[in-house]
Chains A and B, each alone.
Chain A
Amino acid sequence: MLERRYNPITGEWVMISSSRQKRPNLPKDSCPICPGILELPEEYDLVSFENRFPALRKNAPEVENDNDVLIRERSQGICEVVVYTKNHNSELSQMSIKQIEKLINMWSDRTKELSSYDFIKYIFIFENKGKEVGATLPHPHGQLYAFPFLPPRIKLKMESLEKWYTEKNTCAICDIIKEENKKNKRIICETENMIALVPFYARYPYEVHIYPKRHVESIYELSNKEKKEFAYVLKIVTNKYNGLFNMPFPYMMMFFQKPFNIDKSTHFFHFHVEFISPMRGPNLIKWIASVESGTWAFINPIEPEQAAKQLREVEVDI
């Protein structure tokens, strides 16, 4: 079954995606996205392809919505696997700056192409890295979801940024960047055009955000200079993560850009990246439990300023 269902109690859409298709049998330890194994028969540099078991599909089956309480809709969207390199034993932190630069161009091009479909309202680019966040495939890759609706946290971001703009006529993230620059307590890495910091309002212990200093609404508006610095900052942040407890650091990397094809102003949306990790110390995990799941309220056991200091002090050599 592939459909989405509406929860009128929270206003959210839930994607139901149960596949009866069997996963292809692969020999143990072989990687489905290495060249010549399963998904990608030829040699390649970078590739983004439609997921074999997607939660959203361009040609999703029509659904019959015959009830105005229990509302269902077609799961029309696109889910892609975004492969960063053909080198199985690499990862974002190990890749060359040039490879990351190419990757940024691929992310931009995916965004531009997918946003041209009128049914796509939101394009979410992300990476789950490490067993602790459920990533089972070690080959360097991320994913993207092109949604036919605005997911709840995106709606919330839009509402908050809109409210800020309505009241102050400015962008909240632009204002935050100015303020963080003055305080300089939470910045962990900064270039002329990019800033990486543990946000004042971090929800997770070692949460890191990357903001372009110029107000851009989507990844494809970044200039080449900004993209170069973005590549550099991504490499620094992921290396600092690995150096923090001297272990491969699990994380979720999430890109937030403006919604597309909606009949509302989006110019106050400022493109940004959030990194979160369940790690709160060496071999210590912060579990997401009732408070966070039930109320969406977070308790952070580590002062963001302390986390920033620790990350700042991790020396990386790139």
Chain B
Amino acid sequence: MQIFSMKYDKNFFEIKENNYMLKFNIQRIPEGFILRGKIKGNPKRVELFRDDVDKVMFINNWQSWGVSKSIDIEDYTLKISEDKKSRLKYSIHIMPELFEKNIISDYFIGKKDKIYGFLTSKIAHPFFEIKDNELIAYLDFFDRKFEDYVDIEPFIYLEGKNIESLLEIYADYVKFENKPKFSKWNPIGWSSWYQYYEKLTWEEILKNLELSKGYNYEVFQIDDSWQKDIGDWVPKDGYPSLKEIANKIREYNYIPGIWLAPFSVSETSDVYKNHKDWLVKDDAGNLKVAYINWKKKIYALDTTHPEVQNYLRKIFLYMRKNGIHYFKIDFLFAGAIPGNRYEKITPIEAYNLGMQIIRKATKGDFLLGCGAPLLPSIGYVDGMRISEDTAPYYNADDINIPYQNAYYALRNVITRYFMNGKWWWNDPDCLSLRIEDTKPNEKIIEMYAYVSGILNNIIFQSDDLSKSIRKDVFFNTLELRGGNSHVKGLMNFNNFFEIEALNTKIGNIKMKVDLEKVEYSIEKDIEYPQINKRTIVREDDKRLFHYYEESDLNA
């Protein structure tokens, strides 16, 4: 049958375009609507939706390190030097040229009282462009051809009182759609990176393990530095075997954790030398550089290639077999760069394939994503970095391409707070709590830590533990966790935020934080009788008995 000259079948309207066919319907929800559909043909980039813009919009970048913040669209410029562009490449965007020349927001975009977003990114890359006072929602299918109908990424429109509650509702719908099953455990640990960087030695690891007693870490994670090369994931000279590394960490009752960049291959690695056919290429058949780091060109693994899939599987199975059970997987965007692959599928589908292999190989272990496209990673990772790298300095300047800076990192920790506990555990990046060998003053150190705690994020410390350390800040931070958090102030430009956490370990807490003036205040709840729980399993029938009694630990 037809309605207004559109074919209508089983609750779907059908549109015929030159290069594709699209079926769609609209589902009403209490806060707005969801548009669902199916597509076939060679759709390339499809426009789904258009609406007016406001002067102030809340935008979001596709991956971990990118910015989430409000912008004045009349006063928005990207300042990226040519040199930086050539190094960052796809880390700034899956389609860098498009991103450089336009105002782009990936996955969702917000106004003070509306959110427009996509619920998944399984095949296409969903994004918004602001042009001529309109915002336009697109799905990019790259050059993929579909013989049969496939589901499009559902689009959601939400209307309400304020952007913060709408972002929380958006996060809920994304969760309902993806149904991620991630770890219930929100880890606490130590990482080597923000003290040692690539100069970490085995001796320093041993030293810090010995000094770590009393911090009650759960994970001890060795970051970038231990490996032979990017792509050659075996210990370099000066390090013992993976098994010995893991056993040593186990001796201290920590879960052994390690860093790697599984989709990345450097120009000096053995993988590069031996397997150029494993790498993503351009139309002319030349290898594509995904980014430049470690002063090397980094290529991207083609995760659709059966041999690559085998290689990935083997890496993780081998690490697991040797006792590694916490994986920080970094520079993941490399798995999603556009280009030619063994199979003609979209870069997002290729990324999904790669992540599926890693998730399956590490079943039950903790996967922390980093440098990762956000929506496509939901359901694969247990934790996710949601900010640019922190750094031993804090510069409250504002360019729209971030660099390693504690200020940018902390701002994203706040502006992406709503993802936490729904899609994964947010990783605010490591806390550096030393007061020597670092630039930030103690106020910044406290502010960074307490914001991370009150937002119930993953807490990792990164310090040489032989230095002077604000140990009190570490333990205070842990006390602030465990609550449900809400933020106010995302649409303001003054970087002043109010955070409320309900039911933390020490009750309800309010925090005000001014990122520019570097000021914060914490308001604790009034005194209340605290109780301790002791759970006992009855022998004969296995029933649980939960005994509660007043605790006088509430000092």
Contact = CB atoms under 8 A, between A and B. Distances in A.
Interface residues of A, number: 40
B29 interface: yes
Nearest to B179: A263
B221 to A, nearest CB: 25
Interface stretch (B136-144, B308-316, B524-532): B524-532
Contacts of A113: 546
B546 A48 contact: yes
B160 interface: yes
Contacts of B175: 263
Interface stretch (B357-365, B437-445, B502-510): B502-510
Contacts of A40: 545
Given A47-B548, A109-B548, A169-B160, A98 B531 contact: no
Contacts of A59: 542
Interface in B154-198: 159-161, 165, 168-169, 172-173, 175-176, 179, 184
B199 to A, nearest CB: 41
A101 B528 contact: yes
Interface stretch (A200-208, A221-229, A241-249): A221-229
Interface string B1-37: 0000000000000000000000000001111000000
Given A45-B549, A169-B160, A265 B528 contact: no
B351 to A, nearest CB: 25
Contact of B502 (A44, A101, A220): A220
Contact of B169 (A166, A220, A225, A267): A267
Contacts of A265: 29-31, 169, 172-173
Given A108-B503, A169-B161, A223 B546 contact: no
A268 interface: yes
B436 interface: no
A265 B388 CA distance: 31
Nearest to B528: A224
Nearest to A220: B503
A64 B512 CA distance: 55
A74 B234 CA distance: 48
B163 to A, nearest CB: 15
B501 to A, nearest CB: 10
Contacts of A109: 531, 533, 548
Tell me the dominant secondary structure on chain B's binding face. Answer: mixed
Interface string B344-384: 00000000000000000000000000000000000000000
Nearest to B181: A118
Contacts of A116: 184
Given A109-B548, A268-B30, A225 B179 contact: no
Most buried by A among B31, B529, B550: B529
B284 interface: no
Interface string A203-239: 0000000000000100011011101100000000000
B527 A224 contact: yes
Interface in B541-555: 541-550
Nearest to B176: A263
A102 B544 contact: no
A106 B531 contact: yes
Contacts of A48: 545-546, 548
Contact of A221 (B31, B176, B503, B541): B503
B435 to A, nearest CB: 33
B269 interface: no
Given A105-B530, A224-B527, A45 B176 contact: no
A162 interface: yes
A113 B548 CA distance: 14
Interface string A28-48: 000000000001100011111
Contacts of B527: 224
Contacts of A223: 502, 507-508, 525
A45 B550 contact: yes
Contact of A228 (B168, B528, B541, B544): B528
Contacts of B29: 265
B484 interface: yes
A309 interface: no
Contacts of A50: 543-545
A22 to B, nearest CB: 13
Contacts of A102: 529, 531, 548, 550
A47 B538 CA distance: 14
B503 A112 contact: yes
A178 to B, nearest CB: 16
A221 B30 contact: no
A48 B184 CA distance: 23
A298 interface: no
Contact of B544 (A39, A49, A52): A49
Given A45-B548, A45-B550, A47-B546, 15 more contacts: A46-B531, A46-B549, A48-B548, A49-B544, A49-B545, A49-B546, A50-B545, A59-B542, A105-B530, A106-B548, A109-B531, A112-B503, A265-B172, A267-B168, A268-B30
7 contacts: A46-B549, A101-B528, A105-B531, A165-B30, A216-B502, A224-B528, A267-B165
Interface of B: 28-31, 159-161, 165, 168-169, 172-173, 175-176, 179, 184, 484, 502-503, 507-508, 525-531, 533, 541-550
3 A-B pairs with the lowest CB-CB distances in the bound complex, closest first: A224-B528, A263-B176, A50-B543
Interface of A: 39-40, 44-50, 52, 59, 80, 98, 101-102, 105-106, 108-110, 112-113, 116, 162, 165-166, 169, 216, 220-221, 223-225, 227-228, 263-265, 267-268
